[in-house]
Every structure is written in C-alpha cells, then in structure tokens.
Structure 1
C-alpha cells in the first residue's frame, strides 16, 4: 500500500467512511512504518509525507487509548465498550478536534448495549442526567470547563439538563446542534436515518444546523422539530410525553427500606450512594416515579420524605439525617 493510499484511507477514516478492513490495514501499515528499519522500508523522497502520516495516525491511537483511562471501578465497562469502539471512534475523534474543546477534560464514552433492556442512565459531571436508548452512544468529558458544556450523541437519548445560566449545554447530533440552559428533551439522531428529531418536554431549546449554524427553530414544551437530508426543518405540536414513552421505566417503592432504594438508584443512575448515618438504611419509604426524573429530583423527594439531606460529588452521593429503628 503506497503512502498516498494511506493518506486516502486516513481521510476516509476522519470522514467516517473507513471500513473495519481498511482500519485494520491502517493499523498494519502503522506498525510496519513505525519501525522501517525492521522491514527495510524505502523512505527516500516520501519520508516527509510518511512522517506526517505516522504522526497523524499515532495521534489517533493516543486519543483512542485516552478514552479508556478511567478508574478501576469502571474497567469492566470499558472492556465491553472496546468491542464497539472502532465503530464509534470517528465521533470521538471529531469531538476531540472540534474547535473550542481544547479546554475540556479528556472524553468518556458511554454506550448503551443493543438489547431490549439496553437503556443506560448516565449522571453527567454537572449533575444533568441522560437516558440512552439501546444501541446509542454519548461522548462527554470528565468535567465541563470553559464557557459551555458540550457532548456528542449518536442515536437517541433523553436529556434532563441541570440549569447553569453562565454555561449553556450543547449537544452535537449529526447535522444538528441543540443548545439549552436547563430543560428536558429528547433527541433522535441515528446515522442510518435521514432526519434528526428533537422533542421538548420542559423548558426552551434552540436548534441550529451543525455546519452553518443557521437557526432552525426555538422549541418550547410539546413542540418537535424534524430536520432532514433536504435541509428542510418542520416544527409541529406533539404530545411530548407520548413521544418519549420509551424512557419511562417507573420506580414504585411501597414501604421499601432506604438502603434498597439506594441500591436501585445506584444501578440506574450509575452512582454510589452511601449513608452518613447507618440507621438511615432502615427507614422505609413510599414513593412512585415515572422514570423520566433526574437523579436530583428523585433524591430531593426521597430526602424530603425522611427529613434528610444529600450531597453529590461526581458519581458519589451521601445521604445524611436522623435514622430509624430497624422495622424488619
């Protein structure tokens, strides 16, 4: 494979059209040209181009590996994500190279398994929550820095965004950019589909075209916009909660110990919940949730019922308050 073939493959990779076979060929080329003396590779006048391509692809490999540098508690999850990372890696690289992202922390990658029960609840660094539809992915940083909070979505997700007036939340999803301050909405943006659909359940959302940043519309509750490949945007009224019915996975607690509730919430929102006072674990609670609520809203209701308080630090939650006698 000539260096010019390699250059063409790198361009295809960056544009998202590189096949797994072509990616394998790039990996093989990299290993060969990285040690030219071992394979007696002829550099000659093409050395400058080869060095440029090596640096380009080496940078890709370094960034790909950075996606997996997480705490030991998440190692199993990242091993599972590695199986499908070659498919999603394009989006990760585009996110990394997006202008203005140089001040963001290294990205994480959340993937929802492609099975009927594959919905994944994600707690973002700003306490916003996301429900990923099966087979979808979300790229987001460890910590939001700078003037805005940016993520990249492939597939479908329901967002409940924590309000921060000085730091708007921006979602890149295919051909569309969605900007909000604090609101709840659903985005459907599958690569194989011809349109991107945004539906608002609460608050106000601004929708723009990704490349030109042309304003497509400003949505309020029970409004939906559909933007297709013909660059036509249609805004229409809908019953938003019916449109996002897939998100609902209700929680019905009837005299359930706080400890068991904390375990279920921990699994759902991917957080670790502990009690400052161990006797709180015995407190029995009666509460019902639809499944679209943010973690903070659920915690607020539960803690109000038990006259307790909570704090959130990253993916750790501590609940404080007076305990209850063991009611078992």
Structure 2
C-alpha cells in the first residue's frame, strides 16, 4: 500500500466513511500509540504533537527508520526502504490527528467481534502414513500410542503432532529394507522422528519416504515439498536427502529444503553444521556454511551459495508467516498451501508493491489478508475456498 492509499484511508476515517476492517486497523494503531504514551490525552498538546509527527515523517524519508509498533498479532518488520517507513509514519500521524480531533467520548477503542462471512481457518497437524505393505493410516483420526508394527519397529503417534519410530528396536533389525511414507495435505504439517533419532518437520503439501531401519553405509530419504531436518550425526553412515536431480549430503545437522514443484527453484538453506548439495547430472556441487543458501533450477543449474536471512526461511517451522520484500505470487503460493485454497488473479500481469509481514500462522485467512492489504498494494476477497486477488 502506497502513501496516497494510506492517506485516503485516513481521510475516509476522519469523514466516518471507513469500512469495518479499515476502522479496526486505525483503532489498533491509535490504541498502541496511547499505550506507549506517544499520544497524550491533553488536547492542548495537539498542535505540538502534529508538528512532531510531521518532523518525524520528513526525517524518516532521509534517515534509517525505527521499527514500527506492534499491532496486535501483526508486527510490521523494520524496513530499510524509506517509502515503507514513510507509509508507517503517515498512518501513525494520521491516526493520532483524526482521533484527537474527535470528541473525547469517541476516543475509546472499541473491540469488534464481527467476523467476515467468508473465512478459512488455519492448517494444523494433518498427515497420512503409508506403510510398507501399502496400508494407509490417517493420523488425524488415529489414537495416540502405538499405531503400527513395521518389522521390529514400533510406530508411535504422540499427542503433539509427532510420529516416532522405536529406534532401540531398529538397531537390531537386519531384515531387508522396507519403506514408509509420511505425507501432509494442503493445510497440514507434521513432525517425524526417524529410526536413527533424526527429526524432520514437514510443511504443508509435502512428503518424506524413508526406510523403517537404517542399515549399510548410508541413511537415505526422499522428499517432496518442504522439510526441515535436525540430523543425528554419524560419520560412518552419512545422511542424504534426495529430491529429483538434487542430492543433499549432510555433513552437519540443521538445514531446510524447499523443493515444491510449483516453485522456480529448489532451495537448500543451512542453519548449523555443513551440507553438500550436488546434482545427479553432474553439474557440480556446493558446500554450504551456516546462513547460506543454494538454489537448483528445474534445468539442473546449481547456483553459488549466497547469504540469506534464515528467519524468513524458517518462519513456517516456527509457526509464523514472515515476508520481507516478497512478491505477491510467492506469498499467495504459501497461503494456498497452508489454508488449502485456490488463488484467482483478476489481473495476473499487474505489478504489486513488495509485501512485508510477520504474524502467526494460527491466524484465520481473513486476518492475514487484512495485514497484506496494509503492507502492499493488493486487495483480496474470499469466495468459498478461493482467494480473489483484486
């Protein structure tokens, strides 16, 4: 959302023409200003306050901005772009100005409980386990406790959205390798503890295929979608993750792989330790250090490692949406997976402002879309299981 759009919202607010969503937004900003003491109740200080806001706005355009205050569950990320900082200060200044020009009895912030007619709840712990014999178990419906026996392995579902294999039983299993697959639907996520004790977090619309016992000189798994790994170190049995033509050999512990088919590239990001990324067609390899990311295109072109902000990469695993300077379609793909909705663009070729947002993935879809409308130039509506991008 650009500055003229913000100013238009504030003009409508002052004239009493705001929509309920816009009214709630301005109420939240003003409430935060009052709570932090930036907006005094003394109306005699109004003129000085307005001048102060004006100076702060001009200063924000030429200097490094400060982080914006919290707005309930939505926290805008500190921006280095001056226009984003200017937009925040315009909203803060405008909100204070219009509220202070209202009669005092109207200044109280009213919390609304009105819900949109159309809304979508967030995803949750949902997955299907496919056993070696092809039997499927819907983990949403399965009771907690032991749910299957695979060779000498006990498969246990815990009450916190976690599937665990009995590693002690597997250490003496010398039978031929059998494989299980854990898959999450759109709107689902799940955590898995592999037979060696390594931990895996699956994002929505993802899967991992793995042996029910690790034997030989290598631990190998295959994934689709996105997964985060915390691997138990074993120098005699390296851990390898495969996806199509990409192989990630784990020389350390904590890393994330984003390998959705509808993304332009497969991305591997290292948080701790060391990993080696290579291609099956022999187009080279790369070794990552913590805080670095490498990309593999669908044409098997492997990029050089680059430093990245791991907070944004790992937001999904930490229960957050975190976008910094993100393009609209990248954000919409994530929302489509997590809320199990389809995206319809009224104007697919339209350019939109970069999006900035940091909020919980436990929020309803309407709350996320409200925040995105404030942080960018797009507007949205929900029609059943569709997000209409206006």
Q: Same fold (TM over 0.5)?
A: no
- Structure showing greater radius of gyration is 2
Ranked by relative contact order (alpha carbons within 8 Å, sequence separation 6 or more), the top structure is 2
TM-score by length of 2: 0.38
TM-score by length of 1: 0.44
Higher share in helix: 1
